[in-house]
Amino acid sequence: MDRVPLILDVDTGIDDSLALLYAAASPEAELVAVTCLPGNAALEDVARNTRAVLELAGRGDVEVAAGGHAPLRRALEVTPETHGPGGIGYAELPEPTRPLSPRPAAQLVVDEARRRPGEITLVTLGPMSTLARALELEPDLPRLLHRWVSMGGAFRVPGNTTPVSEWNVHCDPDAAQTAFAAWQAAVVREPSTRRALAVGLDATERARIGTDHVVALARRARSTPDDSLDATRPPGDAERRSVASNPVVRFVADALRFYFEFHARYDGFYGAFIHDPLVVAAALDPTLVTTEPVAVDVDVAGGLGDGQTIADFRGLWGRRPNVDVALSADADAFLERLVERVGALAERVADPPLPVAPAGSSRDEVRE
């Protein structure tokens, strides 16, 4: 099997946590390194969460580097109402044992792209600040990377932060504009440059995880049942914990319960859009998403359209397409893979091995 060398740039984050688990569980993924930046949570929380989740997955060997503490030119925003005060919902993990890399995040990206030209896929799952800083260090990055895959944007659907803006782009629209402009210049200068892949809300809001998926994941992990994800229980009980016997399943359930309660409050369903794992899955298997090549730019003017990802679907600008925009996704196939892969990973890291759950079980220090 040909493996895909990945660098994940994360703002961990509940769905980033699931994306890290998915990458760690995927046999075709070579997890080269992970870089961190603020977004869903402050940088210190993100750096801790990222290393702790990797250690939970048995991948404490992966180098983790921290980036800047804030967006390029905007004030930092975080989302404790969405991801919890520390970024991983109601979940708790031991403090990570491995220190952060001495390399700053942007330098790591540039170093690895130069070391393995044409091989590395960079997957940005938060604001695009790290990538923008890496482009300052190495303007030829679009050619040196195999591909850039982003979770970002709302193209033919409404935004989830403003009426027109998706959260990651909203947090640092200047960085997003810098990144898309770099790929625009690259495809004009060298038409063989591979277009970026943008997997935004058009695709990721089709990936809706529910309690049944968590039950199936626990069963695949050979875990005893979890009964914490119950829509009829009052929300906000931080003391209630998953009773699943498997540590990965417990983490997933405790993290997702916060996310489920957020979506029940704001989106009208008890479940969650799990944006970031879908993006990692699409980076490994692009057939999971249906795309259209288009020229993309970002509004940074500060008005009502600030942070909007503008896609020229009619070609009115006359620009060469710089992005393959994902307009839909095979959510069912993705969710099946998520359950199978993360469940199998959970079974592997469990110690000692756990009995099979019955088929009828009820579910219910940071450097700049």
DSSP secondary structure, 38-93, as one string: SSSS-HHHHHHHHHHHHHHTT-TTSEEEE--SS-SSSPP---HHHH-TTSSTT---
- DSSP strand E in 203-305: where? 208-209, 272-273, 289-294, 296-298
The domain ranges of the chain are: 4-207+272-329, 211-270+334-349
Give the amino acid at 325: V
Per-residue pLDDT tens over the stretch 238-282: 778 888 999 999 999 999 999 999 999 999 999 999 999 999 999
Known catalytic membership, residue 275: yes
Marked catalytic residue, from 83, 213, 263, 275: 275
Per-residue pLDDT tens over the stretch 7-52: 999 999 999 999 999 999 999 999 999 999 999 999 999 999 999 9
Query: What per-residue confidence (pLDDT) applies to 234?
Result: 77
- Percent of the chain at pLDDT > 90 equals 89
pLDDT of 307 higher than 50: yes
Query: What per-residue confidence (pLDDT) applies to 351?
Result: 62
- Span 4-207+272-329: which CATH code? 3.90.245.10
Which residue in the block uniquely carries the two structure tokens 């984050």?
Answer: 13
pLDDT of 353 higher than 60: no
This prediction's pTM: 0.93
Q: If you average pLDDT over every residue of the chain, what do you get?
A: 93
